[in-house]
Amino acid sequence: MEKWTVDQSHSNVGFEVKHMMVSKVKGHFNSYTADVEAADLTDLTTAIISFVFEVASIDTKSDDRDNHLKSADFFDVETYPSITFKSTNITKDGDDYKVIGELTIKDVTKPVAFDVEYGGKGTNPWGVEVYGFEAEAKINREEFGLTWNAALETGGVLVGKDIKIKVELEINPHA
């Protein structure tokens, strides 16, 4: 097994959620670590993948919203400073994969399945091979203890239940 590094300057770990039942709020985590071990990244089924996301680095382009998300109403960053993911099974279907793993938010661990698209392999200007992947999963935030909401006068709620997690990765050999 070889260790691989996620190039954070060419990667993104983001999410989106319905806002006021009519639009989407998008955000991402600015700080995270990733461990990827694999015999060969052209066959992701050999991989062991784990991530740690620092919740305090959440960024939705609104300081007020970010501070609310860090509060006890949502992530409670003082008590639960990180979100973790560790793969448990990876299967292949053509060029695509299903990465199943354990996602932990606020000490609640649930299985989550990511649909992963292999973007390909290239060589950067310094002669280093790079691999690209895009992954997406959908979770119900309430199952992880993220239950805060507010009713709208027009009906419905302020924050949707379903969260789409979107990950775009460029992976390099570990230096």
Please report the pLDDT score of residue 173 as a whole number: 82
Give me the half-sphere count of Cα atoms (radius 13 Å) on the Cβ side of residue 111.
7
The length of the chain in residues reads 175
Q: Tell if the pTM clears 0.85, that is, is over it.
A: yes
Round to whole Å and give the CA distance between 99 and 114: 5
CA-based max dimension of the chain = 58
Residue 83's DSSP bridge partners are: 53
Round to whole Å and give the CA distance between 115 and 9: 23
Q: Which domain holds residue 43?
A: 2-173
Q: Which residues of the chain have pLDDT under 50?
A: none
Residue of 130, 129, 135 lying closest to 97 (CA atoms)? 135
pLDDT tens digit sequence for 10-59: 999 999 987 766 678 899 999 999 999 998 888 899 999 999 999 999 99
Please report the pLDDT score of residue 165 as a whole number: 95
Q: What's 158's domain CATH number?
A: 2.40.128.110
Counted domains in the chain: 1
Please report the pLDDT score of residue 159 as a whole number: 73
Q: Are 167 and 135 in contact (CB under 8 A)?
A: yes
Please report the pLDDT score of residue 154 as a whole number: 75
Q: Which residues contact 173 (CB under 8 A, 6 or more apart)?
A: 2, 4, 5, 128, 129
